[in-house]
Amino acid sequence: MTDAPKRRGVRMTADEAWAFVESAHTGIFTTLRRDGVPIALPIWFATLDRRIYLSTRGKKVKRVANDSRCSFLVEAGERWAELQAVHLTGVANIIEPDEELAARFGSQIRDKYAAFRTTTKAMPDATREVYAAAGSMIEIVPDERIVSWDNNFLGLA
């Protein structure tokens, strides 16, 4: 038996891509301004049933309300042989989650980011006020196009 990779190329399978997305810490959420210019911002997120969920406020919500087209990227690695990424495209919807979805989202977000949160006491007053305001939940529904690469599969890392 050899230790040959199971895949023949750097493209991940759908299951591998979703496992990579689920394990990622920060995603890059890209929305479109009214003039069509893309705006890419880092965001914390949860993955449930192969959809991306985030809670946010401000201009991201306004851009989604104006144009639901979006993309979402997660990546890892520093050396070429370590580079991995998954890029999803689809639509983003502002939703009112039912109790079950809200509970699942809240649980995943709390568990995933508990060690990374800044206490509100440590925030400047203006920042604390922004985060105290209610946010909106956004659901990203990816289309069938998953762009992925995993240089790490080559075993050179």
Q: What is the number of domains present in the chain?
A: 1
The average pLDDT across 15-37 equals 97
At 139, the pLDDT band (50, 70, 90 cuts) reads: very high
Q: Please tell me the pTM assigned to this model.
A: 0.85
Domain presence at residue 5: no
Mean pLDDT of the chain: 89
Which contacts (CB < 8 Å, 24+ apart) does range 61-68 have? 61/94, 61/135, 61/136, 61/138, 63/31, 63/32, 63/33, 63/39, 64/31, 64/92, 64/93, 64/94, 64/138, 65/94, 66/32, 66/34, 67/31, 67/32, 67/34, 68/92, 68/93
Which strands, in side-by-side order, build the sheet including 69-76? 38-43, 27-32, 69-76, 84-95, 136-150, 51-56, 46-48
Domain presence at residue 3: no
- Has residue 140 got a pLDDT over 70? yes
Name the residue with higher pLDDT: 68 or 6.
68
Domain presence at residue 114: yes
Domain presence at residue 9: no
Q: What is the CATH number of the domain that holds 66?
A: 2.30.110.10
> Residue 66 belongs to what domain range?
14-154
- Has residue 155 got a pLDDT over 90? no
Domain presence at residue 35: yes
- Has residue 111 got a pLDDT over 70? yes
